[in-house]
Amino acid sequence: MLEAMDLGCMRAERPLFKGLALHVAPGECLFVHGRNGSGKTSLLRILAGLTRPARGKVLWQGLGISQPGSRYRGQFFYVGHADGLNGELSAIQNLQALQAASGHADRPAAIASALREAGLESKKHLPIRALSAGQRRRAALARLLAEFRPLWILDEPVTALDATAHSWLARAMDRHLRDGGAIVATSHQEIALDHAHKQIRLGS
């Protein structure tokens, strides 16, 4: 599904990592570990096509993610440190806007179900700016459930989540893996998955 070959990344003339290879198949979760500054976020941004590597390439189903004809952009969700939500819009409106931007038809039932599972049923019409940090994070993560995309790229997804929401996210990740999806994630906090997962460590 997702493969990286001989990846290298530089920051201010300093190599963060080099010669990195990885492979993530359907039903697999890859956790990326490393100390602060080791390049975890940079690696995820490279995998999401947001940053160009200093060397190497990323393949999706055997095709370079930036090659003509690649449909990669519509095949994954990237949730980074920032929630990526419009603070003036409600959670429902944000998810509707994200669906429209991706060219998918409006699916109100899927959006309502995603927000309900994320514990935001009573907050779904409030502007995002009126929500707590944990609620905003849950609203950002709810997009994972509003439509199926085979790959989730998650950078510290449990940030600001309480224990209940942390458990909810772990269950959602397990379900995605059982459904044949794949995940690449970083997390300073352990995310206990029932599904098998593998790990790589940067800067070791």
- DSSP per-residue codes, 112-164: HHHHHHTT-GGGTTSBGGGS-HHHHHHHHHHHHHHS--SEEEEESTTTT--HH
pLDDT(32) > 70: yes
Q: What is the pLDDT of residue 104?
A: 65
Q: Look up the CATH superfamily of 2-201.
A: P-loop containing nucleotide triphosphate hydrolases (3.40.50.300)
pLDDT(43) > 80: yes
Dump pLDDT digits (tens) for 170-193.
999 999 999 999 999 999 899 999
Angstrom distance (rounded) from CA 146 to CA 17: 34
Which H or E run contains 30?
strand 29-33
Residues 6+ apart with CB under 8 A from 55: 6, 7, 8, 18
Task: Note the pTM of the prediction, 2 decimals.
Answer: 0.94
Coil/strand/helix, residue 106: coil
> What is the pLDDT of the chain when averaged over all its residues?
93
Angstrom distance (rounded) from CA 52 to CA 45: 8
Dump pLDDT digits (tens) for 127-176.
999 999 999 999 999 999 998 999 999 999 999 999 999 999 999 999 99
